[in-house]
């Protein structure tokens, strides 16, 4: 899985990563590692996130961001313990609408995100295991990129 994701990242023009709570922190960690390899990786900044949540709705925070910045050929990676968060679902739909490649790393196989993303990875049987697996996968991807 890490090798396939590393290849998708190498092919993408830009990489966008999002998640809620611990998954948001993991997204920032992975983004930082990718930028260390010279990959244009982005997470939404807190000012934009809270502006959108305040002016529109929390459900729109990632879809609005992807809609403004995303383009065909970009990669959207969503991290989610449940795979059912409305903001994650909307982001995936927006990414697909724009012609982005969409990947989801989820904690539950029945999450709605699994049926929307181009590639869905079940990272664990619960939120805690999923968040731990997100970091492990991020480090494995970095290793694949480092060694390629």
Tally the residues of the chain: 148
For the full predicted model, state whether its pTM sits above 0.85.
yes
pLDDT digits 0-9 by tens, 59-112: 999 999 999 999 999 999 999 988 899 999 999 999 999 999 999 998 877 678
pLDDT digits 0-9 by tens, 21-64: 999 999 999 999 998 888 899 998 899 999 999 999 999 999 99
CATH level 3 topology of 2-146: Rossmann fold (3.40.50)
- What is the C-alpha to C-alpha distance for residues 100 and 75, in angstroms, rounded to an integer? 6
**What pLDDT, on the 0 to 100 scale, is given for residue 122?**
80
């Amino acid at each position: 899985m890490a090798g396939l994701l590393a290849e998708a990242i190498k092919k993408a023009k830009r990489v966008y990563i999002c998640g809620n709570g611990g998954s948001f922190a993991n997204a920032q960690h992975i983004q930082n590692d990718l930028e260390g390899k010279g990959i244009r990786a982005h997470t939404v900044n807190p000012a934009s996130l809270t502006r959108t949540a305040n002016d529109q709705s929390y459900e729109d925070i990632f879809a609005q961001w992807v809609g403004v910045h995303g383009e065909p050929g970009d990669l959207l990676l969503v991290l989610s313990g449940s795979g059912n968060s409305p903001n994650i679902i909307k982001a995936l739909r927006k990414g697909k609408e724009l012609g982005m490649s969409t990947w989801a790393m989820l904690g539950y196989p029945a999450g709605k995100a699994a049926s929307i993303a181009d590639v869905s990875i079940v990272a664990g049987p619960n939120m805690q295991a999923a968040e731990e697996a997100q970091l492990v996968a991020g480090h494995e991807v970095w290793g694949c990129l480092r060694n390629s």
